[in-house]
Chain A
């Protein structure tokens, strides 16, 4: 029984990791209605930035959160302004899909060119130390991620509900043209939203870097799970993403132990396909999942 509860605990902690990676993805989808296939590469960029700064400056990765968050915000702003905004009125879905797919491919290979295919480990500064809670053990870094995940979701929620900018963002999400008639500069809203979404990934990167080594394809590894999380929680729903992340974390942890370690991804993707087909709006979706 101890094993089971340890697995549950591991699953929840893993869920915290998935949550913090997925928040930006679901935000961008919910507001801009764009599936960002380059999301994982934003994480990769952030992780390389954290790795480089930590090793060069000898600073704790967590202390790098402000500069990396800012960096990713700027990257997000640039992507939205110069790549995605011109495609906003495009007639077909495939144009936006391919823009982000192309960006993803270019970034992965740019990292390959610059850093090679080898993995690089960011110094952990204690994030990989395990805490003992009675019979159970968890890593400090995971606890930090879990708490940060809750704080980011709660913070974004308050921001969207209470501030003027947040309301403008929600209005734009609900009806782009009506929002324009109300005097909202929707291009600016989209740029800010993409920036915030990318900034969330930046924060995630500083927290993930001490736990997992970075490589050019690290984004692909995490982003596929993030898509599962976001679709399960309902594309665009922040708390949905959080709960979806916990569920997928549990599935990952339990199926890895009880079925087979190398089949846990099969289980996760089977769930993903099932959700897409049976309930494409997810658990807390906006009701437009199959659009």
Chain B
């Protein structure tokens, strides 16, 4: 594998060699020792390592704690096992089971992904129980509580062997497959999208991510892999029963290994398995078969200890947060400067001829009420291409609600938002990521960084919108980081930025999606004078690059300096609309802000 390919899995040469050695040892030790007991231990390690790695794609990367993954494991075993008597090889059954599991996983997950944390876990347990009880009930198919024997046909085509080596090879192959899939996902656009969605769903959607779709892909892949391992295990045991196949204990175990090793990391699940499985198997060997329950007791105790003392698992404990290394060419700012001339939004060459053009975003008669509280009443708004529109109004006037309706986060009760797309057609997107895709970008008043990612990775999530490859997205993100004054902090974790830095990161992430219309929600609130001046310059540059800007802001200095036009909202209604200097003299506006007596004072 050359360096480029290694980088795609987030490995440098040294760690690649370590991983290769580790995997080689998993294969070489049992082949060298050749005792049944050692074969058994290593086949078990490969099996659980593969199951746990597959689980981690949805439980770790997507952050959805499934405790029902045995459903897919059992489906894999049963599908292949039931096809064998018809003369169909389990190698075919493996893929049939995987396809079935992927479909079932998607059907279960579409409704369940609305649930979070423990509630999602409970729902998956409930689904598992239903499947288990149904499997017990339909004895004709599953053999019920008695179970099914798989016909003993020996040979590679039936996946059943007299010796242990072939089974070890298959189990190892499955482990390798799941690791490759997990490694590829983690370091691809898809993986970034999953983690962004896990960390902050709204911000991920605003960056153009269809959060439901990426999660469903994750669960489908995870279920398919789990099912393939289930097929193999069914053949290895040559006996399939609902109790062992659709087992809550198994579901918990595979999640447990991932957590012990390091949830959300590529190698964590395997490391967790490597720690716990030999430990328990050896203990069982020493204490004999009388010690039933011992392995479970060790699992549970290790899990509690890990949660208490190394919440990031073994991987987190030994590596402390490792970040992807900067790519060679992009590592030096100098190299970046050299290519800067080719960039569209180069700050050095502002577009001088700025013309306010045709309408690009129109809202008509927007209404919205939360219970009895009306937060938008017949709001009409038309935004011209290239203009900077300031939105001001007292607290609670409905500014952020308006933004939420203009970016797809809140459907209006009535009324319509129309946006002109790149080809000039008027369209009405229906979800946040669709808004992002036609070029409406937004920031959040309460900053929403993807906390577990570095600053650069945060910006990359936006950059992936137009750049599918990690290398290109990275270059784009580096360019944006520099332009937004985040160069020095690019490898910091986003949660460690100052508030000013986090606000800049909000803008940087959305700028990386290259929006045509930018919605800024109080990006200057809480900033000091220097930062405010910087922010004003920044927005001027964005505007000069041809981006239409709509900004909610309380900092009047900024509104007056930047806006071509100002709209005033008060009590869910449009109060005024005009040039900034006219609007601030409007008696109605003064009254809304300061009260009636100040209107007379001003007059």
**A and B physically associate:** yes
Interface, chain A (partner B; CB < 8 A): 35, 37, 83, 86-87, 90-99, 101-113, 116-117, 216, 220, 224, 227-228, 231, 260, 262-263, 265-266, 269-270, 272-273, 276-277, 280, 289-291
The answer to whether B118 touches A35, judged by C-beta atoms less than 8 angstroms apart, is yes
The answer to whether B130 touches A94, judged by C-beta atoms less than 8 angstroms apart, is no
Measured CB to CB, the nearest residue on chain A to B297 is A109
Can you list 9 pairs linking A and B with CB atoms under 8 Å apart?
Answer: A95-B307, A97-B121, A102-B299, A102-B303, A105-B249, A106-B300, A109-B297, A263-B134, A272-B122
Contact of B300 among A105, A116, A216, A262 (CB under 8 A): A105
Other than the known A97-B117, A266-B130, what 10 A-B pairs have Cβ atoms closer than 8 Å?
A83-B304, A93-B118, A94-B263, A102-B302, A106-B296, A110-B297, A273-B123, A276-B119, A280-B115, A289-B119
The answer to whether A266 touches B137, judged by C-beta atoms less than 8 angstroms apart, is yes
**A91 and B63 alpha carbons, distance in the complex (Å):** 13
Contact of B130 among A116, A269, A276 (CB under 8 A): A269
By a CB distance below 8 angstroms, the chain B residues around A116 are 292
**A173 and B118 alpha carbons, distance in the complex (Å):** 18
Measured CB to CB, the nearest residue on chain A to B59 is A94
Contact of B308 among A87, A216, A220, A262 (CB under 8 A): A87
Give B73 Cβ to nearest chain A Cβ, in Å: 18
Measured CB to CB, the nearest residue on chain B to A220 is B248
Q: Mark B40-67, 1 if CB is under 8 A from A, else 0.
A: 0000000000000000000000010101
Give B122 Cβ to nearest chain A Cβ, in Å: 6
By a CB distance below 8 angstroms, the chain B residues around A272 are 122-123, 126
Q: Mark B246-261, 1 if CB is under 8 A from A, else 0.
A: 0011001001100100
The answer to whether B299 touches A105, judged by C-beta atoms less than 8 angstroms apart, is yes
By a CB distance below 8 angstroms, the chain A residues around B301 are 102, 106
The answer to whether A102 touches B307, judged by C-beta atoms less than 8 angstroms apart, is yes
The answer to whether B294 touches A93, judged by C-beta atoms less than 8 angstroms apart, is no
By a CB distance below 8 angstroms, the chain A residues around B119 are 35, 231, 276, 280, 289-291
The answer to whether B300 touches A276, judged by C-beta atoms less than 8 angstroms apart, is no
Give B113 Cβ to nearest chain A Cβ, in Å: 10
Given contacts A83-B308, A106-B301, contact A276 B126 (CB under 8 A): yes
The answer to whether B300 touches A273, judged by C-beta atoms less than 8 angstroms apart, is no
B161 contacts the other chain (Cβ, under 8 Å)?
no
Count class of interface residues, chain B: 35 or more
Given contacts A276-B123, A290-B119, contact A265 B300 (CB under 8 A): no
The answer to whether B111 touches A260, judged by C-beta atoms less than 8 angstroms apart, is no
Measured CB to CB, the nearest residue on chain A to B303 is A102
By a CB distance below 8 angstroms, the chain B residues around A111 are 293
The answer to whether A108 touches B304, judged by C-beta atoms less than 8 angstroms apart, is no
**A206 and B295 alpha carbons, distance in the complex (Å):** 29
The answer to whether B451 touches A91, judged by C-beta atoms less than 8 angstroms apart, is yes
The answer to whether B129 touches A224, judged by C-beta atoms less than 8 angstroms apart, is yes
Give B451 Cβ to nearest chain A Cβ, in Å: 7
**A150 and B314 alpha carbons, distance in the complex (Å):** 47
Given contacts A93-B116, A94-B263, A105-B300, contact A231 B293 (CB under 8 A): no
Binding site secondary structure of chain A: helix
Given contacts A93-B65, A108-B296, contact A98 B127 (CB under 8 A): no
Give B63 Cβ to nearest chain A Cβ, in Å: 8
Q: Give the interface centre of B65, B134, B296 by most chain A CB atoms within 10 Å.
A: B296
The answer to whether B252 touches A290, judged by C-beta atoms less than 8 angstroms apart, is no
Q: Give the interface centre of B118, B121, B123, B255 by most chain A CB atoms within 10 Å.
A: B118
Give A181 Cβ to nearest chain B Cβ, in Å: 22
By a CB distance below 8 angstroms, the chain B residues around A96 are 118
The answer to whether B112 touches A277, judged by C-beta atoms less than 8 angstroms apart, is yes
Given contacts A105-B296, A113-B292, A220-B248, contact A95 B311 (CB under 8 A): yes
Q: Mark B280-294, 1 if CB is under 8 A from A, else 0.
A: 000000000001111
By a CB distance below 8 angstroms, the chain A residues around B256 are 98, 101-102, 105
Contact of A273 among B126, B263, B295, B299 (CB under 8 A): B126
B133 contacts the other chain (Cβ, under 8 Å)?
yes
B114 contacts the other chain (Cβ, under 8 Å)?
yes
Measured CB to CB, the nearest residue on chain B to A115 is B293
Q: Give the interface centre of B112, B117, B126, B255 by most chain A CB atoms within 10 Å.
A: B126
Give A225 Cβ to nearest chain B Cβ, in Å: 10
The answer to whether A94 touches B133, judged by C-beta atoms less than 8 angstroms apart, is no
**A94 and B303 alpha carbons, distance in the complex (Å):** 12
By a CB distance below 8 angstroms, the chain A residues around B114 are 277, 290
Q: Give the interface centre of A224, A262, A269, A270 by most chain B CB atoms within 10 Å.
A: A269
Given contacts A227-B122, A276-B115, contact A112 B133 (CB under 8 A): no
